[in-house]
Amino acid sequence: MKTEMILASSNPHKLREFREILEPLGCRIISQHEAGIDLEPDETGETFAENSAIKARKIFEIAKRPVIADDSGLEIDALGGEPGVHSARYGGTRDDKIHNEIVLKKLEGVPDEKRTARFVAAITYIDENGGEHCFLGKFEGRIGYSERGENGFGYDPIFMVGGVSSAELSPEEKNAVSHRGKALRELAKFISENK
Ligand code: IMP
Cβ of residue 90 lying under 6 Å from some atom of ligand 1: no
At residue 1 the predicted structure's pLDDT band, cuts being 50, 70 and 90, is low
Residue ID of nearest Cα to ligand 1 atom 13: 73
- Residue 15 belongs to what H/E stretch? helix 12-22
Residue 178 to residues 119, 147, 152, 192: CA-CA distances in angstroms?
8, 19, 11, 21
Higher pLDDT: 49 or 44? It is: 49
Cβ of residue 13 lying under 6 Å from some atom of ligand 1: no
Cβ of residue 75 lying under 6 Å from some atom of ligand 1: no
Which letter does DSSP use for residue 45 in this model?
A: -
Mutate to test the pocket of ligand 1, among 70, 138, 153, 158 (most ligand atoms within 8 A of CB): 153
3-state secondary structure of 104: helix
Percent of residues, the chain, with pLDDT higher than 70: 99
- Residue 100 belongs to what H/E stretch? helix 96-106
Higher pLDDT: 14 or 128? It is: 128
The pLDDT value recorded for residue 73 is: 97
Checking if the pLDDT of 172 tops 90, the result is no
Checking if the pLDDT of 112 tops 70, the result is yes
A 10 A CB-CB count for 185 gives 15
Checking if the pLDDT of 46 tops 90, the result is yes
Which atom of ligand 1 is found nearest the CA of 11? Answer: 3
Which atom of ligand 1 is found nearest the CA of 83? Answer: 8
Does the active-site annotation cover 112? Answer: no
For residues 183 and 123, the answer to whether their CB atoms sit within 8 Å is yes
As a whole number of angstroms, the distance between CA 117 and CA 114 comes to 9
For residues 87 and 73, the answer to whether their CB atoms sit within 8 Å is yes
By the 10 Å C-beta count (0-12 exposed, 13-18 middle, 19+ buried), 97 is classed as exposed
CATH of domain 3-193: 3.90.950.10
Q: What are the residue boundaries of the structural domains of the chain, listed by start?
A: 3-193
Percent of residues, the chain, with pLDDT higher than 90: 85
Least confident of 38-47, 61-70, 128-137: 38-47
Residue ID of nearest Cα to ligand 1 atom 14: 73
Checking if the pLDDT of 2 tops 80, the result is no
Name the residue among 3, 29, 4, 2 with its Cα closest to residue 184: 29
Instruction: Render pLDDT for 26-36 as a digit per residue (tens, 0 to 9).
Output: 999 999 999 99
The pLDDT value recorded for residue 63 is: 94
Residue among 38, 42, 71, 127 flagged as catalytic: 71
Looking at every residue in the chain, the average pLDDT score rounds to 94
3-state secondary structure of 154: coil
Tell me the helix, strand and coil percentages in the chain, rounded to 5.
40, 25, 35
The pLDDT value recorded for residue 169 is: 95
Largest CA distance in the chain: 58
